[in-house]
């Protein structure tokens, strides 16, 4: 299959190419077009030309375009899902969920609107609040959920009258390019464009004076660079960054019920989720039983190519992350006791056994850092105040969860966790009408909900004298 960039309404070749690797085989899956700075400049110029007419359309007019885009993606959902599994590695069932997530995302935001709000109205004055589009939004996405995260940036921006340049991670560009191919038949030229690079155009894009907003999901280190590059132009930005999410089990949980849900929250997408459970704290009296339950689940998990029937966990997405996760396995062997997994799987592809680690020091790098892979440390605790301190003793604050048969008690603990979102008796529930984002170094701004529309619009107050 041939893949093309979308620039100014035209599907085109890149100035050069890059190989996209299937992480299940370690072999080249496809050749993607790679843009150079001149093509990026063309895309920005086209977006600038397209913006006035798109912004001038009504919400109803823009809604029609987005509904057609969602329907067109759904019509090719099988193609999208297979391609996503091949470029990202996740099992086909997870890929299908991500593609339907795109469809639901675009439909949801197509129905969203920011109407004029009357703040004050008297005989002397009328004060109204208006939300106007910022201009060109740069949507920069990572490789773990490459297409649904792109959709969650594109849809709020387009419905509010912005235009978008989408830049996927270079190891997972294909589904974004396919989205561009679909959009080319529906959206006006320049309204949505796709640019693929090899991590060499991001700084140019985020620093460009014509870019009004940068919406980035990725590592905290890269987020800091984007924040610095945006400073000269004081452009708006939304950053959803790294996390070291905690799961706290209280002493009244039903282990048989909770353990599979904790395991799923940590091992989904091979642990490559910003909001995944990265460390688990368990009351001392329950520690052995919880560790054994998690280890049993890990040993029973079927790891393999996501296209194969029965696969429950796919590979690490790329070789660089594969080597990093293997490094965390070394740390686990040095600092703790591995009770399940613990090795890379022999053969082609970037496969890691789901790994459970116990008896590990709280200051181990495996506990303190974001491992972004299927290696889960489990730690005991005596006092709930101590575990709350431990949960908060990190620069991250993206998410977390508290588990208990007493929901009110769990909620009181959740309120003490310094994170942007904390779940009670569930994890990774992210409906499109509920905003989420990070505290501390896990990000700035919010995705989803009306907050995501506010991120890409300018608050404008009109104050009128009536007398």
Res 341 pLDDT > 90: yes
Round to whole Å and give the CA distance between 287 and 281. Answer: 9
Q: How far apart are the first and last CA of the chain?
A: 66
Mean pLDDT for 403-417 is 98
CB 177 within 8 Å of CB 83:
no
Predicted local confidence at residue 467, as pLDDT: 82
Name the average pLDDT for the chain. Answer: 97
Q: Token digits for 176? A: 């974004």
The C-alpha angle 340, 346, 347, rounded to 5 degrees, equals 145
Res 252 pLDDT > 90: yes
Task: Tell me, yes or no, if 240 is annotated catalytic.
Answer: yes
DSSP SS3 for 37: helix
Q: Token digits for 181? A: 């191919």
Rg (CA), the chain: 23
- All structural domains of the chain, each given as residue ranges with its CATH number in brackets, are 5-241+440-465 (3.40.605.10), 245-424 (3.40.309.10)
Provide the β-strand partners of residue 27: 22
Distances in whole angstroms, Cα of residue 168 to Cα of each of 145, 146, 147, 338, 413: 10, 7, 8, 35, 37
According to DSSP, the β-strands at 125-133 and 117-121 are antiparallel
Mean pLDDT for 408-412 is 98
Round to whole Å and give the CA distance between 268 and 270. Answer: 5
For the purposes of burial, counting CB atoms within 10 Å of the CB of 58, is it exposed (0-12), middle (13-18) or buried (19 or more)?
Answer: exposed
- Chain segment 430-444, per-residue pLDDT in tens: 999 999 999 999 999
- Chain segment 301-327, per-residue pLDDT in tens: 999 999 999 999 999 999 999 999 999
CB 360 within 8 Å of CB 336:
yes
Round to whole Å and give the CA distance between 9 and 191. Answer: 8
Single pTM value for the model: 0.96
Percentage of residues in the chain having pLDDT higher than 70: 100
Round to whole Å and give the CA distance between 154 and 163. Answer: 8
Residue 436 DSSP code: B
CB 396 within 8 Å of CB 242:
yes
- Chain segment 265-282, per-residue pLDDT in tens: 999 999 999 999 999 999
- Chain segment 287-300, per-residue pLDDT in tens: 999 999 999 999 99
Predicted local confidence at residue 1, as pLDDT: 84
Res 231 pLDDT > 90: no
**Dihedral pair phi/psi, residue 449, rounded to 5°:** 65, -175
DSSP per-residue codes, 344-408? BPSSSS--B--EEEES--TTSHHHHS---SSEEEEEEES-HHHHHHHHHSSS--S-EEEE-S-HH
Handedness of CA 313, 318, 319, 320 (dihedral sign): negative
Round to whole Å and give the CA distance between 44 and 168. Answer: 16
Mean pLDDT for 159-165 is 98
Q: Write down the number of H helices and E strands in the chain.
A: 15, 20
Provide the β-strand partners of residue 237: 214
**Dihedral pair phi/psi, residue 136, rounded to 5°:** -95, 125
Which one from 94, 274, 291, 370 is the annotated catalytic residue?
A: 274
Which one from 87, 240, 370, 455 is the annotated catalytic residue?
A: 240
Measure CA 295 to chain center. 28
**Dihedral pair phi/psi, residue 338, rounded to 5°:** -85, 120
Distances in whole angstroms, Cα of residue 98 to Cα of each of 69, 80, 107, 304: 16, 10, 14, 19
Residue 463 DSSP code: E
Distances in whole angstroms, Cα of residue 305 to Cα of each of 82, 296, 315: 12, 22, 7
Predicted local confidence at residue 151, as pLDDT: 98
Round to whole Å and give the CA distance between 441 and 242. Answer: 8
Which run of H or of E encompasses 107?
helix 92-110
Provide the β-strand partners of residue 344: 352
Residue 434 DSSP code: S
Round to whole Å and give the CA distance between 96 and 89. Answer: 12
DSSP per-residue codes, 115-130? --EEEEE-SSEEEEEE
CB 243 within 8 Å of CB 438:
yes
Round to whole Å and give the CA distance between 189 and 56. Answer: 15
Task: Tell me, yes or no, if 291 is annotated catalytic.
Answer: no
- Chain segment 9-59, per-residue pLDDT in tens: 999 999 999 999 999 999 999 999 999 999 999 999 999 999 999 999 999
Predicted local confidence at residue 57, as pLDDT: 98
Residue 111 DSSP code: T
């Amino acid at each position: 299959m041939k893949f093309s960039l979308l620039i100014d309404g035209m599907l085109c070749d890149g100035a050069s190419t890059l190989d996209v690797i299937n992480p299940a085989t370690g072999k080249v899956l496809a050749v993607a077009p790679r843009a150079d700075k001149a093509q990026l400049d063309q895309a920005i110029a086209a977006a600038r030309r397209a913006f006035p007419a798109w912004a001038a359309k009504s919400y109803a007019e823009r809604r029609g375009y987005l509904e057609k885009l969602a329907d067109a993606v759904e019509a090719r959902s099988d193609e999208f899902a297979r391609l996503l599994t091949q470029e990202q590695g996740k099992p086909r069932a997870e890929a299908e969920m991500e593609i339907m997530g795109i469809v639901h995302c675009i439909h949801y935001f197509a129905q969203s609107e920011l109407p004029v709000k009357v703040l004050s109205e008297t005989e002397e004055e009328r004060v109204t609040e208006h939300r106007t589009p910022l201009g060109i939004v740069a949507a920069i996405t990572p490789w773990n959920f490459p297409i649904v995260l792109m959709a969650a940036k594109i849809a709020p921006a387009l419905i509010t009258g912005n235009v978008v340049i989408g830049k996927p991670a270079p190891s997972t560009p294909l589904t974004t390019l396919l989205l561009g191919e679909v959009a080319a038949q529906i959206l006006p030229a320049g309204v949505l464009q796709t640019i693929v690079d090899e991590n060499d155009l991001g700084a140019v894009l985020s620093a460009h004076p014509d870019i009004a907003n940068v919406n980035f999901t990725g590592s905290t280190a890269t987020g800091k660079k984007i924040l610095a590059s945006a400073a000269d132009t004081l452009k708006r930005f939304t950053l959803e960054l790294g996390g070291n999410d905690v799961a706290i089990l209280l002493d009244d949980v039903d282990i048989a019920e909770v353990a599979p849900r904790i395991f799923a929250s940590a091992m989904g997408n091979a642990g490559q989720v910003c909001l995944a459970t990265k460390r688990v704290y368990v009351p001392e009296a329950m520690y052995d039983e919880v560790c054994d339950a998690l280890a049993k689940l890990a040993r029973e998990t079927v790891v393999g190519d996501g296209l194969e029937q029965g696969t429950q966990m796919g590979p690490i997405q790329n070789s660089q992350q594969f080597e990093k996760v293997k490094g965390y396995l070394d740390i686990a062997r040095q600092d703790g006791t591995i009770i399940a997994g613990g090795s890379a799987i022999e053969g082609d592809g970037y496969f890691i056994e789901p790994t459970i680690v116990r008896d590990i020091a709280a200051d181990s790098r495996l506990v303190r850092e974001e491992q972004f892979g299927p290696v889960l440390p489990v730690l005991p605790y005596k006092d709930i105040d101590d575990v709350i301190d431990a949960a908060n003793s990190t620069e991250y604050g993206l998410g977390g969860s508290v588990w208990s048969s007493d929901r009110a008690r769990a909620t009181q603990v959740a309120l003490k966790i310094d994170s942007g979102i904390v779940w009670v008796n569930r994890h990774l529930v992210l409906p499109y009408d509920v905003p989420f984002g990070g505290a501390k170094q896990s990000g700035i701004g919010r995705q989803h909900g009306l907050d995501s529309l506010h991120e890409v619009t300018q608050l404008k107050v009109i104050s009128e004298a009536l007398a």
